[in-house]
A = this chain, B = another copy of it.
């Protein structure tokens, strides 16, 4: 199976993932792009705070240094 962490992100491309940030927000959307800084682009993204949908965004660029975890939904 995969041996490097980015391989897991690569396998999640075009699938829906949950991205959790240091400010306690979550963004859920289709993973379109990422880089070695873990900068991430989601499409059809939703923002959730404490599990509640707070906002719908088309596509969103998330700066890597604000991210705690990324997990397939």
Contacts and interface: CB of A to CB of B under 8 A. Distances in A.
Count the copies.
7
A60 B70 contact: yes
Interface residues of A, number: 38
A44 interface: no
Given A45-B71, A58-B71, A60-B69, 20 more contacts: A2-B32, A2-B41, A3-B33, A5-B35, A5-B40, A6-B35, A8-B59, A8-B61, A9-B61, A21-B68, A22-B66, A23-B68, A38-B39, A38-B63, A57-B71, A58-B72, A59-B72, A61-B70, A62-B68, A62-B69
Interface of A: 1-9, 21-23, 27, 32-35, 38-41, 45, 57-72
